[in-house]
Structure 1
């Protein structure tokens, strides 16, 4: 808390405007057969109608309020995904026009992000991450006449690789989450930091979640949250700048208008101004305030928040980039929402947390893998080597190799040859020997993967290391034939 008479911190508000292409939970193999546009089978058939509901509840009223606030001098940042621009342009052009009025306002700074709000920054190769940054930059320039120099990096930890790509492409500041599990922060998020030389702003997760999570909670000891009370909290906070990066759908969709959330948004800028709190843009914040310190790496920041199935899906997605013909559909599958729905723990930090269960997680993973596998299979005939694509593709859960011992399931499964090799590295001897004795590995590779050449090579191998080496050499040789 600040001492009496000290200058209040500035506030750097930002809004994430995105709508995912939700998967069709009922998709099964064969449903896309004969369709010219496979998106009709892969994605939720009610996508258009559901987006219309979100527009009526949230996007339209919140944007109308925001435009009035901007006219009155409120400053904020907007991150607008390429996906939501595409959907609005196709189905709701009037909403895109309204959003454009806000995005092109003199008091708005447009943020860069990945075009498809994607997980590409978590890939081993940052190439797709860079491609999507440039795609998004071109979109912002074409639609809103802006070239972003600040970037929203809030869905997964920033890394040296992603920071380097950002700086190489003209990004001069990034917003990250305060509890993302990545770089280790000072105890106070209310400062400008640097990470590998890139200026960093950190979302204040507690204050952001007071709006995004706790606002409607009647049993919260600080309910009801008013704009005046919230502005008071910010004004007495330590530090120079408080960053609040919020999911736009919080205002009217995830939190309904009946709670007063839209009126809270309408009243907040005036309440902040009354407390002497200036609203500023990210690029202004990193210019106005000197970096507090350089932030370092957390242990295992690359994968500490991923479950086994999230890692499986992420690896399958990255490999699919070289196998699929329809890049637009593949990129829509990269949406961070897909990996988020495979987590048992729903994170927040300016985003609503979703109730989840083991069954819901399993169901979403199964739907995801069915769609991705089907997309790869459809791509095989048009490739240079269809058999290679089929050997390297992923398979849905019902065709995966489910490891077990004689007595019980081992709890993990291989959805591709590469994942099969990876699992052989840590599977117990009891599990591996059980399958070797029964010839299960050979049968799966021959009958499901369809690689009879590899099946013959491993037939009779009883040594785990020799088995792994033989399969990995085959995988490497297959990749060389299509890359």
Structure 2
């Protein structure tokens, strides 16, 4: 019997206001506390969210709930999994809390699994520093616990981006399984319809998505030129029945049902009948991702080199080109990443929130010049060209960068805290505000060590240029020592 893992990706970004460049709105006088409304087009965001919820998410949830309840007492049940992005959850809390109630009803059936991810749907898993990725995952875990009361065991990275290093990070966070893209060049000679073990991991196992069978739904349901059109549930389930392997993972954008493809075209009927057709087949059974790992052992170890083999579910090459394939994207990606140390040094929650919202991968995708057969975010792209998307995004980043630098006085060199000459604490600061924060929790032995050596006053003088403060610290040192 072949297991069927049916999953849905639910994500909506906070779209930026589109007049930063054309109306010269950058560097306007705005309080840091009001930056959220300054940067983001929240009327558009609210309207898009509510429209997609009414046309897609709510009717699809109703179908799933009805079908799950219908077969709940049977031996073969209907089971699905969801990926709900953190920024989608945040928008629902603001503008459509009734949608969260709909998802809660599904989860209460016991036939729905949620999978974890970076909260802001960002590319921070690619950064050499792992702290931001870990923080965003922990933020997501906390939010899911707060809303749904769940602890998550399965993981999905933004855009299904994956390599050995990311696998080790996810493994270190305690996850049992991870959904990745079923890229043929990585998995061959095996098909994606199996469980795999990632190289260098102790517990983590891998479930690849089947891109071909997922694509048949997203590409061909409305494509009248397809040689097998129309795509019926019976025809699709026949394909599943003939597919060998341990488990077939079908993972697609939830907005396909009702938004990308209209309900009038029969897409919701297709979803309803597809669920029932799978249950009818003797050789097919719905399973949750975590259940698949309990049932099957990995068939092989996969090795995805970080430097030149990183994979994703985007584009024909299934690499990073959809988000980092041109100089516009790379410039924005690097510029935003570089501000991170100053943002965290500021200890300002508003600046940190905006910086993380600006990391959402959609902004990079809007600038893509690469062919994308799945049109991952194109249905909701507010720009008519990648160049207009770049002009708007880069101006928002530059505006934000100036505000961060005006908020925080950066030192020429960071101050590193030691306990003794050869015992570095791992803690450093790049600003006076950060320095004062560190003093609240750093070991008093470190403070005494640096005060006695005159390190504080030298840093105030040479890196901050604050001679008055250096003089006060020097007087304190003389009185104490």
TM-score over 0.5 (shorter chain): yes
Q: Name the residue aligned to 1:173.
A: 177
Q: Name the residue aligned to 1:321.
A: 340
Unaligned runs of 5+ in 1: 1-6, 389-479
- Which segment drifts farther, 318-327 or 121-130? 318-327
Secondary structure at 2:81's aligned position in 1?
Answer: strand
Are 2:399 and 1:374 equivalent residues in the alignment? yes
Q: Is the 8 A contact 2:15 2:44 kept in 1?
A: no
Query: Taking structure 1 as reference, are residues 164 and 64 closer, same or farther at Cα in structure 2, changes over 3 Å only?
Result: same
Query: Taking structure 1 as reference, are residues 375 and 352 closer, same or farther at Cα in structure 2, changes over 3 Å only?
Result: closer
Are 2:298 and 1:291 equivalent residues in the alignment? yes
Distance 2:84 2:211 in 1: 21
Q: Name the residue aligned to 1:113.
A: 117
Report the Cα offset of residue 105 of structure 1.
Answer: 3.0
CA RMSD in angstroms, aligned pairs only: 2.7
Q: Name the residue aligned to 1:362.
A: 387
Report the Cα offset of residue 185 of structure 1.
Answer: 4.7
Are 2:65 and 1:58 equivalent residues in the alignment? no
Query: Taking structure 1 as reference, are residues 386 and 41 closer, same or farther at Cα in structure 2, changes over 3 Å only?
Result: farther
Query: Taking structure 1 as reference, are residues 154 and 175 closer, same or farther at Cα in structure 2, changes over 3 Å only?
Result: farther
Unaligned runs of 5+ in 2: 72-76, 311-318, 414-462, 465-481
Distance 1:97 1:273 in 2: 27
**TM-score normalized by structure 2?**
0.74
Report the Cα offset of residue 355 of structure 1.
Answer: 11
Report the Cα offset of residue 11 of structure 1.
Answer: 0.6
Distance 1:77 1:127 in 2: 28
- Which segment drifts farther, 230-239 or 306-315? 306-315
Instruction: Kindly report which structure 2 residues correspond to 1:96-111, keeping only aligned pairs within 5 A, or say none.
Output: 96-111=100-115
Q: Name the residue aligned to 1:472.
A: none
Report the Cα offset of residue 287 of structure 1.
Answer: 1.8
Distance 1:180 1:282 in 2: 21
Deviations 1:415-462 (A, max 9, x none): xxxxxxxxxxxxxxxxxxxxxxxxxxxxxxxxxxxxxxxxxxxxxxxx
Q: Is the 8 A contact 1:246 1:351 kept in 2?
A: no
Report the Cα offset of residue 205 of structure 1.
Answer: 0.5
Deviations 1:8-41 (A, max 9, x none): x111111111111122222235455225422223
Q: Name the residue aligned to 2:29.
A: 33
Report the Cα offset of residue 338 of structure 1.
Answer: 1.6
Q: Name the residue aligned to 1:301.
A: 309
1:122 to 123, 126, 130: 126
Q: Name the residue aligned to 1:233.
A: 239
Q: Name the residue aligned to 2:476.
A: none
Q: Name the residue aligned to 1:408.
A: none
Query: Taking structure 1 as reference, are residues 143 and 348 closer, same or farther at Cα in structure 2, changes over 3 Å only?
Result: farther
Are 2:287 and 1:280 equivalent residues in the alignment? yes
Distance 1:64 1:137 in 2: 26
Q: Is the 8 A contact 2:197 2:300 kept in 1?
A: yes
Q: Name the residue aligned to 1:396.
A: none
1:70 to 68, 75, 93: 68
Instruction: Kindly report which structure 2 residues correspond to 1:180-219, keeping only aligned pairs within 5 A, or say none.
Output: 183-196=186-199, 197=201, 198-219=204-225
Report the Cα offset of residue 75 of structure 1.
Answer: 0.6
Q: Name the residue aligned to 1:459.
A: none
Q: Is the 8 A contact 2:153 2:290 kept in 1?
A: yes
Report the Cα offset of residue 313 of structure 1.
Answer: 2.1
Report the Cα offset of residue 128 of structure 1.
Answer: 1.0
Distance 1:249 1:355 in 2: 10
Distance 1:79 1:57 in 2: 19
Aligned residues: 383
Secondary structure at 1:294's aligned position in 2?
Answer: strand
Report the Cα offset of residue 159 of structure 1.
Answer: 2.1
Distance 2:158 2:238 in 1: 26
Q: Is the 8 A contact 1:232 1:275 kept in 2?
A: no
Deviations 1:100-145 (A, max 9, x none): 2123430011100111111111222221111111111111111111
1:87 to 76, 88, 91: 91
Distance 1:364 1:168 in 2: 36
Q: Is the 8 A contact 1:82 1:115 kept in 2?
A: yes
Q: Is the 8 A contact 2:78 2:279 kept in 1?
A: no
